[in-house]
Structure 1
């Protein structure tokens, strides 16, 4: 979306806002930032994105919050990268590599053919490092303590699973899938099918139903929409901003420690108003 031309918004009556979620921000971080910046009373998001994923996050305000369940249920599209030959406990970059296997023997044909069993209606087990509840507790809280938990598999639908680039050990992909599909679990299962293991190193949500990432606002554009202060508020002394403590989500500490080039506006190194 253009940096300068914004459509008129009526947040109290209800809007569907498309946001490009920054790397390492949680979905709640984005909701909180937008709520406070635009002074919106009622707001929620239609489908969580993991902190290490970027891309389309849909926020609904006012009366449009009634449409959250409908939007969440729509088909999703993702692009990203799997790294073959290495596995991690979280199936992504939140945790260190725990095993390595050879991958050099794989041919391009074998890699592309291995996608076939993962299309259609399939059984998938969510990661332990996820927000799935186990006995009333988030699974990633169990994982953070070093515990184990039995997570039940569920049926999901993957309509398309396309390999778009092969540059071993990395392969790029595009997936269209139903609500509840874990791309990290797909990385694990795809690597197991190839016999070499794999984990997710990049994930971008590009579409939810007919809503597309190309139409989304970034956080700088949200700041540009900030309304003027109410009359009389400017005379009050400015409220001291508190540095927000980064969320201790699963292995974000590990990721941040091993990736010096964090996003400049990430909540890990700046306050969220």
Structure 2
């Protein structure tokens, strides 16, 4: 039953809960863990599978004794929906970095696209992006990338159980993927574009499922605020502090995304605000 639609349910976070969250855009998985930990005053908490800052959807948090289930949950298959943009590549394989090459794509047929999806179904070799949390000599790969350095990342075997093209509106291709742990959908975008000879990058990604856990059953962070426990009786509150503005785009290295998505003077959304 949906956690979102059962407000009368009581949670015992200290004993242990498996908490489903719908991660907001630009938040890192650590941002969400810290927010939940501080909001609900939980001592022991961790997430069962990272989501990139530019991905949204299901993020599973385990608290208390349920943190012992993290490895088990992480090992389950994942389902994603999203969009690849053909004809353009970026160093990060997504919108975190600007386009660095453009190639023709208009000649591609739906049959060629379907054949490319079939080519990446099953057991495949995949190289994680340099803009990722993979460790290189004890350092996160994205730290190397954001310095402007390069490094070699070893490929690994992953399984794409299902790769369905749900819509084609060139240059955009919409998809649904079911895959095993450790699969990078950004790398799948890169490889899909290379296979077609036109390049591609990921412009949208939603994690819809981990095992039997589904995003439609997840809580939003706004709903989570209502679960904040009262202060223990007799405990005096700390003096109020001016909250610092949250800047996830800086911690996540999303300066380009932040700048490119900012409204302009001619943007209707800007004039309506």
Q: Give the structure-1-normalised TM-score.
A: 0.92
Name stretches of at least 5 consecutive residues in structure 2 with no aligned partner: 264-273
Does structure 2 conserve the Cα–Cα contact (< 8 Å) formed by 1:129 and 1:250? no
- Spell out the pairing of 1:31-42 with structure 2 (5 A cutoff): 31-42=33-44
State the shift of 1:226 in Å. Answer: 0.9
Which residue number in structure 2 is paired with residue 52 of structure 1? 54
Which residue number in structure 2 is paired with residue 267 of structure 1? none
Which residue number in structure 2 is paired with residue 93 of structure 1? 95
State the shift of 1:235 in Å. Answer: 5.7
State the shift of 1:24 in Å. Answer: 0.1
Which residue number in structure 1 is paired with residue 124 of structure 2? 122
1:155-205 per-residue CA deviation (whole Å, 9 max, x = no partner) reads 001000000000000010000000000000000000011110000000000
Which residue number in structure 2 is paired with residue 216 of structure 1? 218
State the shift of 1:236 in Å. Answer: 4.7
Does structure 2 conserve the Cα–Cα contact (< 8 Å) formed by 1:141 and 1:250? no
- Spell out the pairing of 1:1-273 with structure 2 (5 A cutoff): 1=2, 2=4, 5-233=7-235, 236-246=238-248, 248-249=250-251, 251-260=253-262
User: Which segment drifts farther, 236-245 or 115-124?
Assistant: 236-245
Determine the C-alpha separation between the residues in 2 that align with 1:227 and 1:235: 13
Does structure 2 conserve the Cα–Cα contact (< 8 Å) formed by 1:48 and 1:57? yes
Structure 1 residues 235 and 5, CA gap change in structure 2 (3 angstroms): closer
Determine the C-alpha separation between the residues in 2 that align with 1:227 and 1:187: 43
User: Which segment drifts farther, 104-113 or 238-247?
Assistant: 238-247
Determine the C-alpha separation between the residues in 2 that align with 1:236 and 1:31: 22
Determine the C-alpha separation between the residues in 1 that align with 2:162 and 2:237: 57
Does structure 2 conserve the Cα–Cα contact (< 8 Å) formed by 1:144 and 1:250? no
1:2-60 per-residue CA deviation (whole Å, 9 max, x = no partner) reads 46724211111100000000000000000000001011110000000000000000000
Name stretches of at least 5 consecutive residues in structure 1 with no aligned partner: 262-273
State the shift of 1:232 in Å. Answer: 3.6
State the shift of 1:244 in Å. Answer: 4.1
Determine the C-alpha separation between the residues in 1 that align with 2:229 and 2:237: 17
Determine the C-alpha separation between the residues in 1 that align with 2:32 and 2:58: 11
